[in-house]
């Protein structure tokens, strides 16, 4: 299943920030990670990912460096301190949103004994 564009617009940046919280990554790596770790729900093409990364860079949430030591030139992105704060804030908001959706029955309640 793929998310509608409006939902992706909200979830995509948070997902990218979350992936970068685990360490710096380059563009292709992010695309693959998004596809695999979200079971394809948050998969996005280059046409979406790179503008998103540039926007996050413009806002100061991520910083980039070019690594030309390997066989291919790579541009690595990492979270900035401001990005970390933003991610923390996003986490709270998404949690609150999921709780609210759950209370409304839009998101099913977790199975008994399961983790939320």
- 61 exposure class (CB count in 10 Å sphere: 0-12, 13-18, 19+): buried
10 forms part of the interface with other proteins (CB under 8 A): no
- 10 exposure class (CB count in 10 Å sphere: 0-12, 13-18, 19+): middle
CB of 3 to other proteins, least distance (A): 15
Task: Say how many residues touch other proteins, by CB under 8 A.
Answer: 24
5 forms part of the interface with other proteins (CB under 8 A): no
Q: Are the C-beta atoms of residues 2 and 40 closer than 8 Å to each other?
A: yes
22 to 41, contacts with other proteins by CB under 8 A? 26-29, 31-32
Q: Are the C-beta atoms of residues 27 and 19 closer than 8 Å to each other?
A: no
Separation of alpha carbons 113 and 115, rounded Å: 7
The region of 65-73, 83-91, 97-105, 108-116 touching other proteins under the rule CB under 8 A is 65-73
102 forms part of the interface with other proteins (CB under 8 A): no
Q: In the complex, which residues of this chain contact other proteins (CB under 8 A)?
A: 26-29, 31-32, 45-48, 50-55, 57-59, 66, 72-75
């Amino acid at each position: 299943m793929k998310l509608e564009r409006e939902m992706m617009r909200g979830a995509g940046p948070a997902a990218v920030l979350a992936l970068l919280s685990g360490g710096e990554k380059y563009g292709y790596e992010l695309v693959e990670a998004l596809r695999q770790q979200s079971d394809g729900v948050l998969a996005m093409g280059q046409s979406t990912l790179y503008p998103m990364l540039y926007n996050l860079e413009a806002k100061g949430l991520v910083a980039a460096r070019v690594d030309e030591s390997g066989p291919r030139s790579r541009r690595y992105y990492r979270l900035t301190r401001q990005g970390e704060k933003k991610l923390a804030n996003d986490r709270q908001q998404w949690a609150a949103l999921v709780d609210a959706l759950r209370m409304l029955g839009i998101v099913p309640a977790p199975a008994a004994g399961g983790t939320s």
